[in-house]
Amino acid sequence: MDSIRPGTIATLAGGVVLLIASFLDWQSFGAGGFSIGLNAWDRGLTGFFLLVIAGIAIGVAAVDGFAPQVNLPENILDFSRNQLVGALGAAAFVFSFCMLFALEGFQIGTILAVLASAAIVVGARMEDQAGAGTTTI
Amino acid sequence: MDTSNPGPLLLLGGGVVIALGTILDWGPGVSGLNVDFNGLFGIVALLIGVALAAIGGIRAFAPDTKLPDEIAGYSLDQILFVDALIVFLWTFALISESGSKIGLHLTWIGGAVALAGTVLSMRNAPAGGPEAPTTF
């Protein structure tokens, strides 16, 4: 573990922040003088899917960075491992970005989710271009 | 039309169903295109549905039409897979909310069909061809 690549750190950090963001307020509604906050877990299975995406990003980055001796599948369908992580990050990014435009504006959870998922996409792309998961150095 | 590969037809059908679903009700009196509760997601889903249907239609009925093999280092099938995944994943997540309506159900079903179409297209891509997996 002498040198952890920036892509690994970005993916790992993005996954952790995405996980935290799912529990923070995404939307806020005023009702009868009160303000009601909704997080991702209040929107059906949204929180669960964000948890899965964050978990995969954290798991893959942690293995690549700290336990390279662990064998993970290198290709799934047409995707390399990091391309798949990037695809899942892109899915989280598109959804959270779209939610920025919802009624009553957006809250801190949405902003963090956008930034975290973007970090996952960029980190996974950097890892893919560095050849992580496909080349043994 | 290549009947041995149903992928493009599934893409076409899935894309049409997604586009149709977004203009129908997702919740009580709220269509998918209403930005109040789901932000821009319904509009993005509509655009994805149209794109999936267009590419599926071209592949099924005008296979001689040249489509880009790669965009930014990703094959077209990979990009279509991610698009279909976005629609399927988040609309499926939202159906467990109370009050989900026919439009939301049609959209996630369309997303699942399009996702199956992209997977079949990937599996039927010629080995070593432009849509084969990239190895480094």
Q: Is B5 exposed, middle or buried (0-12, 13-18, 19+ CB in 10 A)?
A: middle
Residue A132: per-residue pLDDT: 56
Q: Which of A61, A55, A54 is nearest to A123 (CA)?
A: A61
| Chain B CB contacts of A83 below 8 Å | 74, 78
Average pLDDT over residues A70-94: 90
Q: For A28-47, how does the pLDDT look when each residue is reduced to its tens digit (9 = 90+)? A: 777 777 778 888 898 889 99
The yes-or-no verdict on residue A135 having pLDDT over 50 is no
Task: Look at A43 and B93 and tell me if their CB atoms are within 8 Å.
Answer: yes
Residues 6+ positions from A129 with CB-CB distance below 8 Å: none
What is the value of ipTM here, to two decimals? 0.84
Give the SS3 label for residue A27: strand
Quick one: pLDDT band at residue A73, thresholds 50, 70, 90? Answer: confident
Which of A44, A78, A79 has the CB atom closest to B96's CB atom? A44
**HSE-up of B47 (CA within 13 Å, CB side)?**
7
B127 CA: distance to closest CA in chain A (Å): 11
| Chain B CB contacts of A46 below 8 Å | 90, 93-94
Chain A residues with at least one Cβ partner in B under 8 Å: 43-46, 48-49, 75, 77-80, 83, 87, 90-91, 94-95, 97-103, 131, 134-135
Residue B131: per-residue pLDDT: 47
Quick one: pLDDT band at residue A104, thresholds 50, 70, 90? Answer: low
CA-CA-CA-CA dihedral for A63, A48, A114, A110, to nearest 10: -140
What is the number of helices (H) and of strands (E) in chain A? 4, 4
Quick one: pLDDT band at residue A70, thresholds 50, 70, 90? Answer: confident
Element (H, E) at B131: none
Average pLDDT over residues A5-30: 91
**CA B20 to chain CA centroid, nearest Å:** 12
| Chain A CB contacts of B92 below 8 Å | 45
In B11-134, the DSSP E strands lie at 25-27, 30-31, 70-71, 74-75
Rounded to whole angstroms, the Cα distance separating A40 from A103 reads: 15
Give the SS3 label for residue A26: strand
Residue A137: per-residue pLDDT: 38
Write the single-letter amino acid at A76.
I
Instruction: Give this prediction's pTM.
Output: 0.87
Residue A118: per-residue pLDDT: 97
Window 14-43 of B, Cβ < 8 Å to A: 35-41, 43
Quick one: pLDDT band at residue A1, thresholds 50, 70, 90? Answer: low
Assess B96–A contact: CB distance below 8 Å, yes or no: yes
Tens of pLDDT, residue by residue, chain B (136 residues): 666 678 899 999 999 999 999 999 988 888 888 888 788 999 999 999 999 999 999 999 998 888 888 888 888 999 999 999 999 999 999 998 877 889 999 999 999 999 999 999 888 776 544 444 555 5
Residue B126: per-residue pLDDT: 65
Residue B130: per-residue pLDDT: 47
The yes-or-no verdict on residue A121 having pLDDT over 60 is yes
Q: In this structure, what token pair is assigned to residue B118?
A: 């992209």
The yes-or-no verdict on residue A90 having pLDDT over 70 is yes
